[in-house]
Amino acid sequence: MKKVIEVDEIRTVFGTKVVHDGVSLSISEGEIYGLLGPSGCGKTTLMREMVMLQEFQSGSIKVLGKKVNTISHAEAQKLRKEWGVLFQAGALFSSLSIYENIALPLIEYTDLSEKMIEEIVRFKIDLVGLKSSDAYLYPSQISGGMKKKAGLARALAMDPKLLFLDEPTSGLDPISAREFDKLILNLRSMLGLTIVMVSHDLQSIYDTLDKVAIIDNKKIAYEGTLAEVTSVKSEFIENFFGEEQV
Amino acid sequence: MDNLLRIETNNGINSLNFFGELTLYTITQYDKTLTTHSFEQENKKFVFDLNGLSFLDTAGALFLEEKITHYKSLGFMCTIDTDKEQFLQTLALVQKWSNREESFPKPVQPSFLERVGELFVSYYVGFMGFMSFFGQLVFTKMHYLKSLKNIRYKEIAFEINEGSIKALGIISLTSFLIGLVVAYQSAYQLKIYGANIFIVDMLGLSILRELAPLMTAIVIAGRSGSAFTAQIGAMKITQELDAMRTMGFDPYIFLVMPRIIALMLMMPILIFIADIMGLLGGMIIASIDLNITIDLFLDRFREVIAAKHFFIGLVKGPFFAFLIASIAIYRGLQVKDDTQSIGFNTTKSVVESIFAVIVCDAVFSIIFTNLGI
């Protein structure tokens, strides 16, 4: 299957602290791919490197066929329109309403009419399970779960092929978290998205992920399906997936 | 505190009978009784009798544990006497997790030389950071000027209103008061020499050339500069800047340039208002205190104050504005992922931009004097 993201021998160093030392993985089209690992292992850092928010010392990352470390400004701008990113706390623009947040990329990047944009925004709001009455609220007026949904709607505004989710279910109550999982699965089957996510939520990991990469001790400890994850010896894997085996 | 801890010695055994609740709040009372009591050396055995104790928390258990180790190291025998399962569990828990050999690793204190070196490196890095910000700014500006379509008119208009129009009130008031005060102070001196009419020359020159531009810049640095830093800093903490970048919205185009352009456009206008208000304040004092009527003041003003002084004041505006806005925004972008650094950077932003404005003013002063204007 076509590779959407290829990470090759990444090395990341913060000051004197080595975060990644030769991390490689590849993500195929249509997969829901999870980055797992203990706190501070550099999952989020790796994801930030994929979306060009963070530089790395050596190695290469290819996203949708483009090498992000040597990409030109114009190509980078093009790439940025092809993915959506959901940040941990939503990262909605606080000076804009939910509607304006979702409409912003459409207004900036397309020449669609106002009516068409409204139509699209309404559809995205419905898609993620927000009420249309929430559209004109500001980010400070809505709950954490709604912020995540609104953030997801914004990430989906441009119909991306690739979606990055940073701990999508953290800070949600269990019911909303399961709803969010269902939403992600639905989106994948409806829109054919490739989804990369960082997660700590075991239930969500079992419910949604097709493939995982476990980063432990600066390297990939395991890459593959969840079914075989316990075949690998690693303290993190034993602690994290251990109880399921008993 | 004898009712909490009773110490009895018979048959060579020191029995410590604990009563009450041994918790965080009462430990010191037990400790006082225990340390003030003098034990005889020949009594080699301690019995900690906890049967009278009604409650023991982990801090209390740690205290007992520590005492036992202490007495053991002095060569005493120690036993604990209790039949409460709960106490034994707490004691076992404490024994399991307390690790006396290893204390917390102390962070290594850098030596004096290291600290000096670090300080200089941090200044150097800070300076290079500002230079790279500046480079990015110029680069973006070039990019920006390639097409008028790139200019964010809406954002600029918004920033003009937020950063400048809303500052009109406070700028008018400050410069009015400055005009008033300067006139009032000099009126007293001028009266002595009977040189009343020269108040016009003095006020005209000082307000138009120096006071109005400086006061405006200082008020704007304190008011709008700090707001820029705090806004952008907060956006950084909430990852809004990251979100913008991943969506392909360059923060330099969306946030930085509109603020800088808005302030550079508006500063001369603000200075103009400050000129008017400052001179108005001076005129009022001149007519009350020195009997120089408004008409006389204006006649003399037209006669002695050349228009160049007014323009010199205005010309400084965009330069001051650029310094204030770019330092404020740079400081905003420097904010780290904690709330404390918003406060730190906002303070820095105001202090540095006022300092930069004054340095810039001094440079202008030298240039204009040497050019003979």
Q: ipTM score here? A: 0.85
Above 90 in pLDDT, residue A89?
no
Number of domains in chain A: 2
Query: Is pTM, for the whole model, over 0.95?
Result: no
Which residue from A minimizes the CA distance to B234? A94
Q: How close, in Å, is residue A94 to chain B by CA atoms?
A: 8
Note whether A140 and A164 are same-domain residues: no
Of A153, A172, A193, which closes a domain? A153
| Cα–Cα distances in angstroms (integers) from residue B322 to residues A204, A229, B264, B329, in the given order | 50, 57, 6, 11
Q: Is B16 within a domain?
A: yes
Residues B62 and B139 in one domain: no
Domain limits for position B119? 107-150
Contact status of A218 with chain B (Cβ, < 8 Å)? no
- Among B234, B239, B248, select the one facing A77 at the smallest CB separation: B248
pLDDT value of position B39:
76
Contact across the interface for B239 and A77, Cβ inside 8 Å? no
Q: Is residue B102 part of a domain?
A: no
Q: Tell me the shortest Cα–Cα distance from A227 to chain B, in angstroms.
A: 33
Selecting from B238, B242, B248 the residue whose C-beta is nearest the C-beta of A94 gives: B238
Q: Which residue range forms the structural domain that includes residue A115?
A: 93-153
Among all residues of chain B, which has the CA nearest to that of A47? B246
Asked whether residue A14 is assigned to any structural domain, the reply reads: yes
Same domain assignment for residues B119 and B264: no
Which residues from B are below 8 Å from A85, CB to CB?
243, 246-247
How far B131 CA sits from the closest chain A CA (Å)?
Answer: 19
HEC string for chain B: CCCCEEEEEECCEEEEEECEEECCCCHHHHHHHHHHCCCCCCCCEEEEECCCEEEECHHHHHHHHHHHHHHHHCCCEEEEECCCHHHHHHHHHHHHHCCCCCCCCCCCCCCHHHHHHHHHHHHHHHHHHHHHHHHHHHHHHHHHHCCHHHCCHHHHHHHHHHHHHHHHHHHHHHHHHHHHHHHHHHHHHHHHHCCHHHHHHHHHHHHHHHHHHHHHHHHHHHHHHHHHHHHHHHHHHCCHHHHHHHCCCCHHHHHHHHHHHHHHHHHHHHHHHHHHHHHHHHHHHHHHHCCCCHHHHHHHHHHHCCHHHHHHHHHHHHHHHHHHHHHHHHHHHHCCCCCHHHHHHHHHHHHHHHHHHHHHHHHHHHHHHHHCC
Contact A81 B242 (CB under 8 A): no
**Chain A positions in Cβ-Cβ contact with residue B245 (cut-off 8 Å):** 52-53, 80
Mutate: best of A45, A94, A156, A162, partner B, most B CBs <10 A: A94
Chain B residues bordering chain A (beta-carbon distance below 8 Å) = 234-235, 238-240, 242-249
Question: How many residue pairs bridge chain A and chain B with CB atoms within 8 Å of each other?
Answer: 44
Residue B77, domain CATH:
3.30.750.24
In this predicted structure, which of A33-47, A206-220, B146-160 has the lowest mean pLDDT? B146-160
Query: Looking at the structure, do residues A175 and A57 belong to the same domain, yes or no?
Result: yes
Give every strand in the sheet of A32-36, ordered side by side: A83-86, A162-166, A194-198, A32-36, A211-216, A219-225
Tell me, yes or no, if A60 comes closer than 8 A to chain B by beta carbon: no
Place of tokens 């085996």: A245
Place of tokens 């200044």: B123
A87 touches chain B (CB under 8 A): yes
Instruction: Tell me, yes or no, whether B55 and B159 share the same domain.
Output: no
Chain B residue closest to A88 (CA)? B239
Facing residues of A6 across strands? A26, A62
Domain boundary among A153, A168, A188: A153
Torsion of CA A166, A171, A172, A174, to 10 degrees: 110
Residues of A in contact with B337 (CB under 8 A): none
pLDDT by position in tens, chain B (length 373): 457 788 888 777 888 888 888 888 888 888 888 888 877 777 778 888 888 888 888 888 888 888 888 888 888 888 888 888 888 888 888 888 776 666 677 788 888 999 999 999 989 998 898 899 888 888 877 777 677 777 788 889 999 998 899 999 999 999 999 999 999 999 988 989 988 889 999 999 999 999 999 999 999 999 999 999 999 999 999 899 999 999 988 888 888 889 999 999 999 999 999 999 999 999 999 999 888 999 999 999 999 999 999 999 999 999 999 999 999 999 999 998 888 999 999 999 999 999 999 999 999 999 998 988 7
B26 assigned to some structural domain:
yes
